[in-house]
Amino acid sequence: MLDSSPPTVHINHGVWKNMNSFKTAALLIILTLLFIFIGGLLGGRQGMIMAFGLAVVMNFFSYWFSDKIVLKIYRAQPADESKHRRLIALVRNLTQRGQLPMPKVYIIPTQAPNAFATGRNKKHAAVAVTEGLMQLLNNDEIEAVIGHELGHVRNRDILIGSIAATVAGAISILASMARWAAIFGGYGGRGNDRGGNPISLLIIAIVAPLAALVIQMAISRTREYKADRASAEMTHNPLALASALEKLHKAPVQLNLDKRPSTAHLFISNPLSGKGMVNLFSTHPPVEERVKRLREMARSGLPVK
C-alpha cells in the first residue's frame, strides 16, 4: 500500500515558474522575428507586413489553443468514466497527493506506447495516454507515468512545451513553402523589394528545420529529470517509472510516433527512433541515465540532483 501523505517537494517552484515564463516569452518573440524575417525573404516589405500579422495570430493561438491543437493532432478522445475507470482513479489519486487540480484525461487511439501532458496552467491541464501504453504497462508503471506527466504540470512545463510544438510545426511549414518556392523560381520576381531570391529560399529550407530543432532543445532536457523526480515523490516508487521507461524504450520501432518531430519533446518517451547523431540532438535525455537516477533514488530514498 502506497503512503498517501503529501510528498516532500524538492523543487523551488518560484524560480522554475519564472524560468518557464521567460522561456515562453522568448519563444513568442523568436516566432515573431522568424516569421517577419522569412516573410521579408519571400515577399519583401509586403511579405514582412503579412508575416507580422500572421505571427500575431500565431502567438495568440499558441498561447490559448496550443493544447487543443496537439490533442487534435493525435485524435485524442476524452477518457470514458466507465471504460477507463482505473486510469481516471489513478490520475485522481495522484493529483490529491500532489495537491493539484484534477486535469482532463484523454486516450490516444494508437498502439504506440506513450503519454504526454499539455495545457496553459494547472487549472487547464490535460494528460493523454495511448491505448498501447495501457496495454504494455502494469498498474504501478502506469501510475508512475501519470506521476511523471503530473510532474510537468506541477513544474509548469506544459505551456512552454505546447507552444514549442506549435512553433516547431509552423517553422516546418515555412521551410516546406520555401523549398517549393525555390523549386518554382521564388515569389514575386520583380525588384529587390519583392523578395523570393532562390538562394535565400534554399537557405530557409535548410536552416528553418534546424531552427525548429533548436527551439525544441531549448525546452531543456532537465525538465524530464525534474518530472521523473516528481513522479518518484508522488508515487514513492521510482523503480516503477524506471521499469516503465525501459519498456517504452524497447517498444518496437514501428509502433513509435516518428512522423511528427515537432511534438516529440512532449512525450515521456522520445517517439523518434535513431541513434548516433540523431540521439545527440534528441529532445530527451538518455533513457539509461534516467533509469540510473531513478534506481539511485530507490536505493538512497532521496532525489538525485
What DSSP string runs through the chain?
A: ----SPPPP-S-HHHHHHHHHHHHHHHHHHHHHHHHHHHHHHHHHHHHHHHHHHHHHHHHHHHHHHHHHHHHHTT-EEPPTTTTHHHHHHHHHHHHHTT-PPPEEEEE-SSS--EEEEESSGGGEEEEEEHHHHHHS-HHHHHHHHHHHHHHHHTT-HHHHHHHHHHHHHHHHHHHHHHHHHHTT-S--SSGGG---HHHHHHHHHHHHHHHHHHHHHT-THHHHHHHHHHHHHHS-HHHHHHHHHHHHTS-GGGS-TT-GGGGGGBSS------THHHHT-SS--HHHHHHHHHHHHHHSS---
- Active-site pick, 131, 141, 143, 149: 149
- Determine the Cα–Cα distance for residues 17 and 263; give it in Å rounded to an integer: 22
Backbone angles phi, psi at 118, to 5 degrees: -150, 175
Is 149 in the active site? yes
Catalytic (active-site) positions: 149
